[in-house]
């Protein structure tokens, strides 16, 4: 039987961590773009689009991400495409992230006092100008801490993609366990790597919140 | 797209789905009650407890909140047996959910405790109540009431997250869907139906928790 040193295990896990990081980035950036689109639908003037965005968010927040992954994996296949795991994982994670980001950002836009809309409107600004010069710059400021905080959820969510066969940190953990028969060590290390990725983000979200709150308290 | 949808398997396999739903409900019922209990204890320990306990609770909360539930589950089910802790799939699933919700609800409840005006602690003390009595009779219920909506959302999130326990062969709703698709090869339909069921469960759970809030918290304390 081959002996595995701790370094062998750690090295293989770290190699797989690259895919966790990459998938997280894809999900976060893609989700951010789709989420922005949803946000403008949700706070816009068209009733049909508002309802669409609302039910979209309801649907994605009310069902397990695992099910969304399965549906993406098998659903894309229905169109006759041969779906690789990374594609299903990326699509499902982007759609899921978009729902949560849109909802977080909506809260931030709605937190801007009504008077700001009225004041800018009284200066003769149109909707786009109001958004561009008055609302969004302020909303962006309060949006930063929760958005950074949510990136932690995205990293953790990528662990589920191991179930549809995408090889990232969690899947590597399972594979290394099957080779070494040391689940305690391997899953312990996997947890520590996730922690090392997530904890700095959690902390900076907290710090940002404290910092930006000071400005927010003044008005 | 030439695919023809086929839901005929529902006629034969609905008992499997029903059993899965039962187990999912059981998991979240046990997980929610014990998880929130653990959260209350940890919140007390972190906000008002003895100094030596606080760093331990902080470490627990940070560790759980910054690692995926799937890995916590695998660690408990596959990792702990090497320390001599053997568990059945359901026990491991339950334990993982309790530990997970415990950490999240600790943070939420602690926020509720910290929002309590200082005067309430002082009022309790001036009535010769011990710190524990003050916590139990004066602080706890209004604190919980303050954060009940946030706590309810977290419980729903844990319920949806419980889909993952099928990975250690705990026979929940997702496990049922996996079983059905492996028998009927109707993967999309099986997951579509179970996703719809999860959505209904989430909506129902929100209603139940809102109703529970109305029951637990007396009207006169509502603001």
Could you tell me if residue B173 is inside a domain? yes
Q: Does B167 touch chain A (CB under 8 A)?
A: yes
Q: Are B60 and B103 in contact (CB under 8 A)?
A: yes
CA of A139: how far to CAs of A122, A132, A136, A207, B91, in Å? 20, 11, 5, 18, 45
Cross-chain residue pair B160–A65, CB shorter than 8 Å: yes
Q: Does A157 touch chain B (CB under 8 A)?
A: yes
- Residue B182 CA to its chain's centroid (Å): 29
**Rounded mean pLDDT of chain A?**
92
Dig out the tokens for A152 from the structure.
Answer: 């932690």
Neighbours of B158 (CB within 10 A): 22
The residues, any chain, with a CB within 8 Å of residue A63's CB and separated by 6 or more, are B160, B195, B198, B199, B202
Output A95 or B5, whichever has higher pLDDT.
A95
- B4 touching A (Cβ < 8 Å): no
Please enumerate, as own/partner, the contacts of A184-187 that have beta carbons within 8 Å and a separation of 24 or more: A184/B75, A184/B78, A184/B79, A184/B80, A184/B82, A184/B83, A185/A6, A185/A9, A186/A9, A186/A13, A187/B71, A187/B74, A187/B75, A187/B78, A187/B79
Contact call for B65 and A202, based on CB within 8 A:
yes
Which residue of B lies nearest to A203 if distances are taken between CA atoms?
B62
Tokens 């802790």 correspond to what residue? B85
Give how far B57 is from chain A: nearest CA, Å.
16
CA distance B191 to A52: 23
Check if A95 contacts B (Cβ < 8 Å). no
Chain B residue closest in CA terms to A154:
B68
Q: How far is CA A12 from CA A7, A162, A187, B69, B177, in A?
A: 8, 16, 13, 21, 33
**What long-range pairs does B11-16 form, CB within 8 A, spacing at least 24?**
B13/B180, B13/B183, B13/B184, B16/B176, B16/B179, B16/B180
Enclosing domain of residue B49: 16-221
Residues contacting B131, CB < 8 A, separation 6+? B48, B125
- Whether B177 and chain A come into contact, CB under 8 Å, resolves to yes
Q: Would you say residue A219 has pLDDT above 50?
A: no
For chain A, the first-to-last Cα distance in angstroms comes to 68
Say what the pLDDT of residue A215 is. 53
Q: Provide DSSP, A112-151.
A: S-HHHHHHHHHTT--HHHIIIIIIHHHHHHHHHHHHHHHH
Domain definitions of chain A by residue range? 6-217
What local confidence, expressed as pLDDT, does residue B221 receive?
A: 54
For residue A184, give the nearest of B69, B82, B188 by CB distance.
Answer: B82
Number of domains in chain B: 1
Mutant choice from B5, B163, B164, B193 vs A, greatest count of A C-beta within 10 A: B163
Residue A218: is its pLDDT beyond 50? Answer: no
pLDDT tens profile A167-209 = 999 999 999 999 999 999 999 999 999 999 999 999 999 999 8
CB contact under 8 A, A71 and B195: yes
Q: In terms of CA atoms, which chain B residue is nearest residue A162?
A: B70
Q: Residue B4 has what pLDDT?
A: 82
Contacts of B81 in chain A (CB under 8 A): 183
The closest CB to that of B203, out of A62, A183, A187, belongs to A62
Cross-chain residue pair B199–A63, CB shorter than 8 Å: yes
What is this model's ipTM?
Answer: 0.90
Contacts of B96 in chain A (CB under 8 A): none
Across the range A102-128, mean pLDDT stands at 92
Residue B1, pLDDT score: 61
Rounded alpha-carbon distances, angstroms, from residue A198 to A79, A194, B5, B97, B195: 36, 6, 41, 20, 28
Nearest to B198 among A64, A78, A199 (CB): A64
A121 to chain B, closest Cα gap in Å: 35
- Whether residue B51 is predicted with pLDDT greater than 70 in this model: the reply is yes
pLDDT beyond 60 at B83? yes
Tokens for B56? 């331990």
Judge whether residue B70 has pLDDT over 60.
Answer: yes
CA angle B78, A86, B186 (to 5 degrees): 80
CB A24 within 8 A of CB A193: no
In whole angstroms, what is the distance from residue B195 CA to residue B174 CA?
Answer: 9
A79 at B interface, C-beta within 8 A:
yes
d(Cα B81, Cα B94) in Å, to the nearest integer? Answer: 16
Alpha-carbon distance values, B132 to B35, B37, B42, B123, B183 (Å): 21, 16, 14, 14, 56
Please report the pLDDT score of residue B181 as a whole number. 92
Hey, are the CB atoms on B1 and A78 less than 8 Å from each other?
A: yes
Residue A170: its chain B contacts at CB < 8 A?
Answer: 68, 70-71, 74
Q: Tell me which range, A55-59, B129-133, B219-223, is most confidently predicted by mean pLDDT.
A: A55-59
Contact B198/A at CB under 8 A? yes
Chain A interface includes B185 (CB < 8 A): no
List C-alpha distances in Å: A162 to B6, B74, B190: 28, 13, 20
Average pLDDT over residues B170-178: 94
In a domain, B162, yes or no: yes
Query: Is the pLDDT reported for residue B220 higher than 70?
Result: no
Interchain CB contact of A181 with B (< 8 Å): no
Confidence grade of residue A216 (pLDDT, cut at 50, 70, 90): low
As a whole-number percent, the residues of chain B with pLDDT over 70 amount to: 97
B199 vs A61: CA distance, rounded Å? 9
Q: Provide the CATH number for the domain around residue B193.
A: 1.10.3720.10
Summarised one tens digit per residue, pLDDT across range A63-82 is: 999 999 999 999 888 887 88
Q: Tell me the pLDDT band of A212, cut-offs 50, 70 and 90.
A: confident
pLDDT in tens, B9-23: 888 999 999 999 999
- Confidence check: pLDDT of B99 > 80: yes
* Residue whose pair of structure tokens reads 């299903």 in the numeric block: A88
Q: Residue range B146-166: average pLDDT?
A: 96
Instruction: State percent of chain A over pLDDT 70.
Output: 97
User: Is position B49 within any domain?
Assistant: yes
> CATH assignment of A6-217, given 1.20.1630.10, 1.10.3720.10, 3.40.50.720, 3.50.50.60?
1.10.3720.10
Reported as a pLDDT band with limits 50, 70 and 90, residue A214 is low
């Amino acid at each position: 039987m081959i002996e595995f040193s701790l370094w062998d295990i750690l090295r293989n896990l770290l190699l797989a961590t690259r895919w966790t990081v990459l998938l997280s980035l894809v999900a976060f950036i893609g989700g951010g773009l789709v989420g922005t689109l949803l946000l403008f639908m949700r706070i816009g003037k068209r009733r049909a689009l508002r309802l669409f965005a609302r039910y979209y968010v309801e649907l994605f927040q009310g069902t397990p991400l695992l099910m969304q992954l399965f549906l993406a994996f098998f659903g894309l296949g229905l169109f006759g495409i041969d779906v690789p795991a990374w594609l299903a994982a990326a699509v499902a994670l982007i759609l899921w992230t978009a729902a949560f980001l849109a909802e977080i950002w909506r809260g931030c836009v709605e937190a801007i006092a009504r008077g700001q809309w009225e004041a800018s409107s009284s200066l003769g600004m149109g909707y786009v100008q109001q958004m561009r010069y008055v609302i969004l710059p302020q909303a962006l400021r309060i949006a930063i801490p929760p958005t950074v905080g949510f990136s932690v959820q995205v990293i953790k969510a990528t662990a589920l993609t191991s179930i549809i066969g995408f090889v990232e940190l969690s899947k590597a953990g399972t594979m290394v366990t099957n080779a070494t028969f040391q689940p305690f060590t391997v899953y312990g290390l996997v947890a520590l790597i996730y922690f090392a990725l997530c904890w700095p983000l959690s902390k900076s979200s907290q710090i940002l919140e404290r910092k930006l709150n000071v400005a927010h308290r003044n008005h | 797209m030439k695919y023809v949808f086929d839901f005929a398997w529902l006629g034969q396999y609905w008992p499997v789905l029903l059993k899965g739903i039962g187990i999912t409900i059981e998991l979240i019922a046990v997980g929610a009650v014990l998880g929130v209990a653990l959260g209350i204890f940890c919140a007390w320990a972190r906000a008002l407890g003895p100094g030596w306990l606080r760093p331990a609770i902080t470490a627990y909360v940070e560790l759980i909140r910054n690692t995926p539930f799937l890995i916590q589950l695998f660690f408990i089910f596959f990792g702990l047996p090497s320390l001599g802790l053997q568990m059945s799939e359901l026990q491991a699933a339950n334990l993982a959910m309790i530990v997970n919700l415990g950490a999240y609800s600790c943070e939420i409840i602690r926020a509720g405790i910290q929002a309590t005006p200082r005067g309430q602690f002082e009022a309790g003390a001036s009535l010769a109540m011990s710190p524990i009595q003050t916590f139990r009779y004066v602080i706890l219920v209004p604190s919980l009431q303050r954060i009940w909506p946030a706590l309810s959302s977290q419980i729903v999130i844990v319920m949806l997250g419980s889909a993952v326990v099928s990975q250690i062969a705990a026979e929940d709703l997702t496990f049922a869907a996996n079983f059905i698709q492996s028998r009927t090869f109707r993967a999309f339909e099986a997951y579509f139906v179970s996703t719809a069921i999860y959505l209904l469960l989430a909506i129902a759970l929100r209603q139940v928790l809102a109703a529970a809030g109305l029951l637990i918290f007396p009207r006169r304390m509502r603001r």
